[in-house]
Structure 1
Amino acid sequence: MRLSLAFITLATLYCSRASAQQSTDNLISPASASGSLTGLKYTNVGATGTYNQVTNLVPGTFPSCDVNPFCITQPKQISGALAPFNEEMTFNFRGPLNLYNIAVYQPASTSASTWTQVSSWVAGQAPNNLVFMNNLGGDKSGVFSICGGNSQSFANGAWTDATTAANAEVASGFLDEDHEINIMTAQTCDDSPCDGFARGTANHGWADSKMLVVTFDMPPSSDASKVPAIWALNAQVVRSAEYGCNCRGEGSPGGCGELDILETLVGADPNQGISEIYSVKGATGSGSTNFFARPTTDKVTYGVVLDVQMDSIAIQRLISWDYTQTSVSREVIDGYLNAPALEVSFATGAKKRGVVGGHRRRHGL
């Protein structure tokens, strides 16, 4: 039996529409691309330039701590789609925050048709290829010196202190307003060398294209100066010193990559969160009139796609997510990347758009 060209065309169109519908089934509806956002997309992310990669940290001797240079760096050249966000990244969380589920998906290659779940965690259970860490290195794990400060450490189950081994205690999922954690893969820098300088307890992050899916809520703070945030950093930052000698920054020669996914600002509306992005290009973000609603009572799910193929980053609020699914198709990823969203071009020389009356809570406080 021969099928007519018209029939084949209609069938192809139907399948294409069905695939597009399937790829956006989990997106929040109706979408909002201004004011109270449900989606944000950064385009033209990749940069060409250099940042100062840390190669050593020389803390010196107490009480002078006067070694110069203390933070030893060398220029690292980057270029290409998504750079430097194609490098290993870690995802960070600051309370008050309840975390319920986390999953990370990655493709085997840039052109792969499937993204596989490579890391996951459910509150109250042991994680898979995911380690909870913090910046409390010292006697239990990691290292500490008065002049050099704390390295990374393995976080305890309450996420308030360090412990002796990765995920030695089961985490309930509550992060109080006085603490921060970050997640890394289970592979250590001893297992395989990490890029840049690393000290103490140091693990690999997620490189190339990746998608973070996380379900959480952000209960009200007891102190207006202690507000929550979710952000991503170049993994080199935490492996040297997140609040000291590192490659983070804005513009050249700093800027190895930071993405603020949802951050509530001190002094601004406590029920709103913004997004900003920093690299050697400079900085930009959601701006002074656009925001994500802070989920103070009901838990929400967000998908964050960092994609080399499209040189884009998408932040989308989802209706739901099946964390038992071990893979997602490229069509689904494209659906999230192309869904309605506030679109912000990360052009070279971009400058961030501040929020009137608000400022960032200094990380670590």
Structure 2
Amino acid sequence: MSTKTSAKAVRELLPSQAPIRFVDEDGSAVKAPAGYAAPPDDLLRAAYRWMVVGRRFDTQATALTKQGRLAVYPSSRGQEACQVAGVLALRERDWLFPTYRDSVALVARGLDPVEVLTLLRGDWHCGYDPAATRVAPQCTPLATQVLHATGMAEAMRRKGEDGVVMAFIGDGGTSEGDFHEALNFAAVLKAPVVFFVQNNKYAISVPLAKQSAAPALAYKGVGYGVPAEQVDGNDLVAVLSVLGAAVEHARSGKGPFLVEAHTYRMDAHTNADDATRYRDDDEVRRWSAADPLPRLEAYLRGRGLLTDEDVESARAQGESFAADLRARMNADTEPDLLEIFDHVYAEPTPQLLEQREQLRAELNAQES
């Protein structure tokens, strides 16, 4: 390979020097970036509705922690553009591998919100059926899900399916070895997986500057031969456009793609965190001006795609969604102690069956 050809190949892997943007922070349109097309209007309207519902769900889930109905909840307020766009860029047969902070994405995927919160409630490790929903369990250990996603993508490729896998990951997760291993494996295997980094500027209390010296996390792709792009993660239009192109790249057999979305975690890491210890109010106020929800609303209103009635309808849907969630989460569950033997093995061993019967006998004796 000549030096000239090699240099061109490297340039094709590099992200844009500035994050891709379609909509300014005040909701006004900017010049469309070269190589990217704006999503269809009906998709933007659907995204707005899911962002409104998702934010109301997030607020309600946060309140449930204060009421003792959830053990913990990691809010994604301020990241709704990423959460919703990441789901809408996929088809029903595609797989999603989320982190613990991606509950809004799962709700937008159509999962039952009570099942989404089951893990955080402490009832089950995963409250929904991954095989039926094509959504992997929400992953708490950092970055382990990206290797799982790569394996799933390679399995789909070998089976001849045209499905794509999207792996969500935070900026802190890119400092883990699993992230680098996943990119390397995916590139070598040309697995159809999109790595979607939601860079919300903090890994709990550790700022990005103390994690990486790279000009942007998207530049980490070039070392593994993975093309990458960076996008304004609070611009729903841009995130949908960039993720759509990344998914199409993977689906067409060209291998993995890395997308870094620049966004911000408006609330604390979880309800157990005090964010005032490591960031100041001025920083939060600056990022509040770039809030993705009013930004998209202003853009759609400016284009005549959103009316007052549409806004009220979306808010009413969000309130109804929250009320239903609140009512069902406030109902106490009746634990079944015999469930500890379920799903240990596909076929229970004789020893497990014997232990199960011993426990059943003890429980029956206590009730009699």
Q: Which has the higher strand share?
A: 1
Structure number with greater Rg is: 2
Q: What TM-score, normalized to structure 2?
A: 0.25
Q: What TM-score, normalized to structure 1?
A: 0.25
